[in-house]
Structure 1
Amino acid sequence: MRIPVISGLLLVSTLLAGCGEQAAEPAAVAPAQPALTLSPLGELALRPERNAPAAVIGRHEARISAEVAATIQALPVEVGQSVAAGALIVRLDPRDAALALERAEAALAQAEARLAQADAQLQRAQTLRERNFYSPEALTLRETERAAAVADARAARASRDTARRALDKHSLRAPFAGVVRERPAQLGELAAPGSVLLTLVAAGDPEVAAQLQPQDVEVVAQAGEWQFEAAGVRHPLRLIRVSPAMNPESRSVEARFAFAAAAPAIGQSGRLLWRETRPWLPADLLVRRDGRYGVFTAVDGKARFHVLPGASEGRPALVDLPDATRIVVLGRHALQDGAALP
């Protein structure tokens, strides 16, 4: 059976045309809009616990020094010993001071005797003057002698009081109830004026002294709750005061706290703990744009990049926004400032 030529040619042409036709390119697919998740800042923010160096100190601390030069005769207290207010803690050799007091008292007795004689002579001169047996000049001389005797008696009395006070300085007593922390003086040594003999720390009402950085002063004052941690134990505190002056050496500000319950031993070192009241964002929520770190917030349906001053990579950042601010969490890395939000 013969196939018609024309039909064969048409078939071949059709097959050749089919083989030479190229496949059509697929239609372009629009990029998918990144999924976005927004959350209020109040749900994302952290309130981290902060700390600063602190130590338990006595409310009063006195360095008891000698006021006179004398040999140390008695030291009835030891380091760590508790003493009551007014208790004898150091006695210096008082013999020289006692002799000086005795001389001052003798001089006062002489001055008072001369004053008594001057009084008697003046009274007799006044009586004779009334009878016109005494000249005005002689009466004036008696009055002058009596005034001089009064002045001599006052000076002698002051010398006696000074000698008595010097004798009292040979017996040093505790100005308050406390504990002897240091006692550099030794029995038999010569105490010079101004030399520290022992250090006394008040035993009652201990306080915590914390050294704060200037930028933390306001934050600590507003914290509301504070704790002192030492040896793994935490003690609740209450704020007493914050110094208005800065320590020029450490560039820190001292804050004082009182214990709200039982207190550890005076001299214990530890840390002051408080919790931030300001919101902080975790480091993994920060994004970087134009070399600065911040977050994307939702403002009128658009994403706005909010720069966080002081933020750095890998560290939580302080946020200066209200807790109700909506923060872009999921999809933030693909956003640009001003992008529309679904």
Structure 2
Amino acid sequence: MARIGKMLAAGLYFVGTTAVSSEVYVTVAPVSELQERVTAEFPASAEPIETSLLSSGISAEILSIRARPGDRVPKGTTVVQLDCRETEFRRDLALQDLKQAEIQLQFSQRQAARIAKLAETNIASEELKDTRATEVQQSRVALNASEVALKEAELQVSRCAVSVPFDAVIVSQLASVGTRVSVGHPILEIVSTAVDIRARVPFDHAVDATQRVEFQSGQQTVVVELVVESGAVDTGTGTRLLRFQPQSAIDPGIPGVLRMRSQTRVLPADFLVERNRQYGIMAAVDGKAEFVERPNATLGQPVRVTDLAPDLLLIREGRFKARHGDTLVIRQ
């Protein structure tokens, strides 16, 4: 009998400890207090919209370089001056050829008019009349050719001065004063001061049009606006390109971080628990633990709870231990 009494006592003790173990000590907080906006960060950089090599348009010697690496130069500024004497000589010759063509045309027109009058009285033959008319046409063609040649010579003269085609920063100098450069020889490398912010994000990352996006580099933070989301995905990295326009000035080439803060409020990813192969969150309802399934949740990702009441109490400490139906002891 004594042995049976001890066994009953042990059984009662086991039952008692089991009952106590179903009580889980937890802390809770309402959904409205735990929600936060999602902030995603991606490496980014301020890339110049334009990059150019300023090259020589003629074969000539460099007389002067008026901007050096690091200088900022506005659009239209002459930064390189080439020796233009040979080119100007050719322009002057083209101008003289044009004047000669004008004189020849005037002479041919006078001759043709004189022969035409003589042909009316049969003093000059029709053949001579046609010859003079043809000479007028030939002189007119020669004049047109001379005009084109002069325009080409003037264009060559304009290439003696190398100007920047946009507001730019000089990146590097590729030739020096005194060097004779050929056509197309690069002299200065420049980049535009106008930039866009570029970042590569996972191809399935959803870009919310309402979210606030910032580019941060060091102590500088600039608000940016989405320009384009590339429709092409890099198969090697599984990412797509996003381009943003900064709302304030930023130097080209600066590296930084793109911060995309969503307006949608979510729970931190670590609130997600797994029960019976289902993902969800643990809530406290009338002193009991309740598993609230989140069928669209992904492990490691923030949890959407916009469908839940803001005052619903969620379990904070003890959420991984609590099971559906457990009695909760809520600590402050």
TM bucket, shorter chain: 0.7 to 0.9
Change (3 A) 1:309 1:110: same
The whole-number CA distance in structure 2 between the counterparts of 1:190 and 1:37 is 80
The residue matched to 2:178 in structure 1 has which SS? coil
Corresponding residue for 1:335?
323
**Any idea what SS the aligned residue of 1:64 has?**
strand
Equivalent position of 2:115 in the other structure:
125
Deviation at 1:117, TM superposition (A): 1.7
Residue matched to 1:223: 211
Task: Structure 1 unaligned segments of length 5 or more: list them.
Answer: 1-18
> 1:68 maps to which residue?
58
Do the aligned partners of 2:55 and 2:184 also contact (CA within 8 Å) in 1? yes
**Which amino acid in structure 2 is aligned with residue 281 of structure 1?**
L
Where does residue 180 of structure 2 map in the other structure? 190
Q: What's 1:239 paired with? A: 225
Equivalence map 1:157-196=2 (5 Å): 157-196=147-186
Indicate if the aligned counterparts of 2:269 and 2:302 stay in contact, CA closer than 8 A. Answer: no
Which residues in structure 2 correspond to 1:42-81 (within 5 Å)? Answer: 42-56=32-46, 61-81=51-71
Find the residue that maps to 1:118 and give its secondary structure: helix
Letter in 2 for 1:229: Q
Q: Which has the higher contact order (CA 8 A, sep 6+)?
A: 2
The 10-residue stretch of structure 1 (66-75 or 21-30) with the greater mean CA deviation from structure 2 = 21-30
The one-letter code of the counterpart of 2:108 is: A
Give the equivalent residue in structure 1 for 2:141: 151
Letter in 1 for 2:323: L
In the other structure, the counterpart of 1:324 is 308
SS at match of 2:293: strand
TM-score of the superposed pair, with normalisation by structure 1: 0.73
Task: Note closer, same or farther for the CA distance 1:103–1:201 as it changes in structure 2 (3 Å cut).
Answer: same
Q: CA deviation at 1:92?
A: 1.8
Q: Which residue of 2 aligns with 1:7?
A: none
Q: Deviations over 1:31-89 (max 9, x none)?
A: 46555887654433332433223334556554322223322222122222343443321
Is the 2:216–2:257 contact (alpha carbons within 8 Å) kept by the matching residues of 1?
yes
Whether the aligned pair in 2 keeps the contact of 1:241 and 1:256 (CA below 8 Å) is yes
Question: Is the CA contact 2:281–2:291 (under 8 Å) kept in the aligned structure 1?
Answer: no
Pairs aligned (count): 310
- Structure 1 residues 37 and 271, CA gap change in structure 2 (3 angstroms): closer
Give, in whole Å, the separation in 2 of the partners of 1:150 and 1:192.
35
Return the alpha-carbon distance in structure 2 between the equivalents of residues 198 and 55 of structure 1: 23
Give 1:98's aligned residue. Answer: 88
Q: Do 2:38 and 2:302's aligned partners in 1 also have CA atoms closer than 8 Å?
A: no
The structure that is strand-richer by fraction is 2
Whole-Å separation in 1 of the counterparts to 2:184 and 2:278: 60
Using the alignment, how far apart are the partners of 2:221 and 2:257 within structure 1? Answer: 11
Q: Which runs of 5+ in 2 are unaligned?
A: none
